[in-house]
Amino acid sequence: MGWETVLYETDGPVVRVTLNRPERRNALDDVLIEELDEAVKQADLDESIRVIIIAGAGKSFSAGHDISGPAPNMEAGGRKARSREAQTTWKDPERRLKREQFLYFDKSLAIRNATKPTIAQVQGPCVAAGLMLACMCDLILAAEDATFQNPVCRMANGSIELLVEPWELGIRKAKELLWTGDAIDAQEAWRLGLVNRVVPTERLAEEAMRLARRIALAPPVAVALTKRSVNHTWDLMGQRASWEYHFMLHHFAHTTDETRSFAEEMRVAPGGLKEFLKRRDEMYRQG
């Protein structure tokens, strides 16, 4: 399939699906989210594939959601269409809920629930929705230069669509990192159990493939059943229910005065989005 924003490369029983927007630090716009979803589903249905690696082109895994421009209209004109009507989605809570459920919640869970093992190959910044994506994978391999951050509270919202931090980091560390928006490096992420391994940056792709090939040696049905059982254990502990609850709070936050005010400040900020976020982060560094 001719995707524009993902690369799909097979190597024996392993496929590497690469987010391919390096000029935007692999920020997740609607097209990339849909193409990633299609690529993972294609790999999951391919009987010759046993392991799926999700990687990012360039120096970043993903900078999170692409908030720099209008959203493609999901209802009229296809996934690439951009129109005035698309912008009304952001002002209509019901339409926004439907859109975010479809694009962010359901498609994230589709990666988490793929029958094949998934490995996130993370280098450089892994931010907000990028962190959410990495955590949907079964394993995370981090380069030495990887950093992990969810600064969404700084943007007047309560984290991203799926609140992964309590499950990955523990309750107290999750609260600290969510409230401060601070980043952690790869070694700290390993110490906290967020990532499985930290490897030299120049060997990241090689080590991810090596791990994938080892997993691919195991009988695929046994691997799939084990994955399903482990994920079900988390569901019995309340993971899915907690994510559904948080998703509704996240959506409610879009309607608050704080979030609307922040969005307006960001829209009219001198110097554009990049300068606005730079000034915002400087305030936290000074604190």
Going by pLDDT thresholds of 50, 70 and 90, the confidence category of residue 89 is low
Domain count, the chain: 1
Higher-confidence residue of 6 and 272: namely 6
User: In whole angstroms, what is the distance from residue 204 CA to residue 73 CA?
Assistant: 37
As given in the structure block, the two tokens for residue 85 are: 């009507």
In a domain, 267, yes or no: no
In a domain, 272, yes or no: no
In a domain, 270, yes or no: no
Q: What is the mean pLDDT of residues 171-192?
A: 98
Residue 257, pLDDT > 70, answer: yes
Residue 6 exposed, middle or buried by CB count within 10 Å (0-12, 13-18, 19+): buried
In a domain, 83, yes or no: yes
As given in the structure block, the two tokens for residue 43 are: 């790999």
In a domain, 211, yes or no: no
CATH number of the domain that residue 188 is part of = 3.90.226.10
Radius of gyration of the chain (CA): 19
- Indicate the average pLDDT of the chain: 91
User: In whole angstroms, what is the distance from residue 132 CA to residue 87 CA?
Assistant: 25
In a domain, 45, yes or no: yes
Q: Domain residues for 150?
A: 6-206+219-255
Lowest mean pLDDT among 35-49, 138-152, 254-268: 254-268
Residue 54, pLDDT > 50, answer: yes
pLDDT score at 74: 40
Residue 69, pLDDT > 70, answer: no
In a domain, 276, yes or no: no
CB 247 within 8 A of CB 105: yes
Lowest mean pLDDT among 27-36, 47-56, 76-85, 151-160: 76-85
User: In whole angstroms, what is the distance from residue 248 CA to residue 165 CA?
Assistant: 17
pLDDT over 90 percentage in the chain: 74
pLDDT over 70 percentage in the chain: 91
pLDDT score at 40: 99
- pTM for the model: 0.91
In a domain, 1, yes or no: no
